[in-house]
Amino acid sequence: MDSVRPVESPPRPAIRRLPETTANRIAAGEVVERPAAAVKEIVENALDAGATRVSVVLDGGGMDRILVEDDGCGMDAADLALAIERHATSKLPEEATLFRIATLGFRGEALPSIGAVARLAITSRPAGGSAHRIAVEGGRVAEVTPAAGPPGTRVEVRDLFFATPARRKFLRHPRTEAEHAIEAVRRLALAWPGVAFRVESEGREALALAAADWEGRIRQVLGPGFAAAAVPVEAVGAALDLRGLAALPSYTRPTTAAQHLVVNNRPVRDPLLRVALRVAFRDVIEAGRHPAAALFLTVPPESVDVNVHPMKTELRFREGEAVRGAVISALRRAIAVGGGAAVAVAGWSPGPAPAPPPPRPDALPGGAAPSGGSPAGGFAEAMAPLQAPGPMQRALGLVPAAPPRSAAQAERAPDHHPLGRALAQILETYVLAEAPDGALVLVDQHAAHERLTHEALSAQLVEGGVRAQPLLLPAVVDLPARDAARLLEHAPALARLGLEIEGFGGAAVLVRALPALLGTPDPAPLLADLAEELAELGEAASLQQRLDAAVARLACHGSVRAGRRLLPAEMDALLRAMEATPRAATCSHGRPTVLRLDAAALERMFGRR
């Protein structure tokens, strides 16, 4: 029998200091992952240098050549020699400022990292001084020499990643790399509206932005479509200043690319702020769609840590929850406008909408009304002019207060409401109306009434609880055992919504009361949907999330259904209620409630322009 030979352990590797060139190339992998990252770092240096004009030229998507010129403060010969050394920076006057960063770049790694993997040449001239030039090729630094050039700095990068060909293989097509680089400049331009930017790619002008104020720059960068659908966002506090524009829920995007977030003039992709955007729009946009916004947040530098990510695109706020709450509240206040403001129409050319009525000054964040009132001007009051008890009136339990106008009176009376006057009901599902400017307005009666019911329920919940209507005969609903257990587990929360249930043996649930606003719908489908909603949210969901989801389900079941014929006065009352109700542009599931086709769009469709 052969003896077992002992396994020899490998020799212990010795620890050694890496050569400077190798260390710089490793650092370049963190800082310069593609041409766009090099462009971003160089342009950030230009902005920190006080530039008022920045020009970028790209060849081969930036892989062959990147040229960035600015009119900033420039550098003398001594500063130029230090600029390409690691951990050399002019942006930290003392070590204590590491936790109070007021500039875009501060690590001092970008230029040496770029010089380690490319051919880098920098020409700079300070005001009142002479120009000098320095070159770095694959980490080898040349001497500083006199040169010619205007005040400012000129940075040229050639053959990016020639010293690390393995990384160059991971780059995309030059056109794709150029698009990423242009987008990097566009985001910086949005954060610095007072600076003029120009980008040239493959000999063609790809971006040209004159200096502007922040609203003008948003329109320049995000386009007229966003500007037409956007509303101002503002929140000012002792330790936070938020301003910007957010598109109404009718204007959404399939990705988060249209979310531009700027903190202390730094464009970021911060998770906390993105979550705040998602939460603020959660119950007003459709699942799978994303809001569009350009938000500028200013906080004291010591209250935010920008040194948590190599690319400095993520932050850590000292008071993260306070910032998140302030952003959510500001966004909800901004989008809490009536249905008359939502007119972006998929497939139709949007036209200018009449200005919506101003939001009530006493409205609470999120669209709920203050204690003692119904949402945004009063849902019941808006529906009161109905006379004959139609389906909507019966569903809401409203008593008519005045006779409807005759057709002749309606024709003569001027209508200054954004959604105009009802003309007809189509397919017993949609209300067709004519706006004051002649545009055609189409309203989904179920989706619109769902939002109105949702806001009414939310207002009652804020007041202390949704008013319940006891059933004359309690209803027994049989459910799968898991659904029944889940509903009974959340019975106290459901009771706050006016839905009173208790166990009835086995998997049965006894329903003793329903929310009064819902009338008397069949409780079985309602309970089944609520159980499904609670299961989908999972155990990690907060109580507020569960209540919000339950309100949306209740609103859906208590709303006027498609296929129900409405009287003319009921249709007009629906339009008036939408104009006065927050977030009426979308239903509780985020689908649009109102579409608009203006005169210009009609003329284009019929070939008149």
What pLDDT digit, counting tens, does each position of 152-205 carry?
A: 999 999 999 888 887 788 888 999 999 999 999 999 999 999 999 999 999 999
- Pairwise CA distance, residues 148 & 124, whole Å: 9
Across the range 323-337, mean pLDDT stands at 86
**What pLDDT, on the 0 to 100 scale, is given for residue 347?**
37
Q: How confident is the model at residue 105 (pLDDT cuts 50, 70, 90)?
A: low
pLDDT in tens, 358-378: 433 333 233 333 333 333 333
Q: How would DSSP label each residue in 139-168? A: TEE---EE----SEEEEEEESTTTT-HHHH
Please tell me the least confidently modeled range out of 110-124, 305-319, 393-407, 586-600: 393-407
Question: How many CB atoms lie under 10 A from the CB of residue 124?
Answer: 28
**What pLDDT, on the 0 to 100 scale, is given for residue 387?**
31
CATH topology of domain 214-335: Ribosomal Protein S5; domain 2 (3.30.230)
Please tell me the least confidently modeled range out of 32-46, 206-220, 438-452, 519-533: 519-533
| Mean predicted lDDT score pLDDT of the chain | 76
Domains of the chain, by residue range, sit at: 20-209, 214-335, 345-451+561-605, 468-557
- Pairwise CA distance, residues 71 & 49, whole Å: 9
Residue 137 has pLDDT above 70, yes or no: yes
Across the range 221-232, mean pLDDT stands at 85
pLDDT in tens, 72-92: 999 999 888 888 887 666 555
- Pairwise CA distance, residues 199 & 58, whole Å: 8
Residue 443 has pLDDT above 70, yes or no: yes
Residue at 167: amino acid letter: R
Judge contact between 180 and 35, C-beta under 8 A.
yes
Residue 544 has pLDDT above 50, yes or no: yes
Please tell me the least confidently modeled range out of 143-147, 435-439, 487-491, 539-543: 539-543
Across the range 560-571, mean pLDDT stands at 78
Query: What six digits make up the tokens of 147?
Result: 């040169």
CATH topology of domain 468-557: Ribosomal Protein S8; Chain: A, domain 1 (3.30.1370)
Residue 204: CB partners within 8 Å, gap ≥ 6?
none
Across the range 249-255, mean pLDDT stands at 83
**What pLDDT, on the 0 to 100 scale, is given for residue 570?**
87
Q: How would DSSP label each residue in 321-390? A: HHHHHHHHHHHHHHH---GGG----TTS---PPPPPPPPPTTPPGGGPPPTTS-GGG-HHHHHTT--S--
Task: Report, at the CATH architecture level, how domain 345-451+561-605 is classified.
Answer: 2-Layer Sandwich (3.30)
**What pLDDT, on the 0 to 100 scale, is given for residue 380?**
38
Judge contact between 229 and 239, C-beta under 8 A.
no
**What pLDDT, on the 0 to 100 scale, is given for residue 492?**
86
**What pLDDT, on the 0 to 100 scale, is given for residue 84?**
85
In CATH, the number for domain 20-209 is 3.30.565.10
Q: Of 342, 116, 382, nearest to 228 (Cα)?
A: 342
Q: Are strands 430-434 and 440-444 parallel, antiparallel or unpaired?
A: antiparallel
Q: How confident is the model at residue 400 (pLDDT cuts 50, 70, 90)?
A: very low
**Greater confidence, 255 or 197?**
197
Q: Is 488 helix (H, G, I), strand (E, B) or coil?
A: helix
Q: What's phi and psi for 477, nearest 5 deg? A: -120, 125
Q: Length of the chain, please?
A: 609
Neighbour-count burial for 565-595, b at 16+ CB within 10 Å, e otherwise: ebbbbbbbbbbbbbbbbbbbbbbbbbbbbbb
Residue 506 has pLDDT above 90, yes or no: no
Strands (DSSP E) found in 429-491? 430-434, 440-444, 468-478
What percent of the chain is predicted at pLDDT more than 70? 72
pLDDT in tens, 2-44: 555 666 666 666 665 656 665 555 555 456 788 998 999 899 9
Query: What six digits make up the tokens of 561?
Result: 């259904």
Helix H or strand E encompassing 58: strand 53-59
- Pairwise CA distance, residues 23 & 29, whole Å: 10
Judge contact between 63 and 177, C-beta under 8 A.
yes
**Greater confidence, 252 or 376?**
252
What percent of the chain is predicted at pLDDT more than 90? 22
**Greater confidence, 379 or 572?**
572
Question: Under the phi-then-psi rule, with left for phi > 0, alpha for psi from -120 to 50, and beta for the rest, what region is 322?
Answer: alpha
Q: How confident is the model at residue 408 (pLDDT cuts 50, 70, 90)?
A: very low
Across the range 437-449, mean pLDDT stands at 86
Which residues on neighbouring strands pair with residue 259, listed in sequence order?
293
pLDDT in tens, 37-76: 899 989 998 998 899 999 999 999 999 999 999 999 999 9
Q: Is 184 helix (H, G, I), strand (E, B) or coil?
A: helix
Residue 108 has pLDDT above 80, yes or no: no
- Pairwise CA distance, residues 594 & 267, whole Å: 34
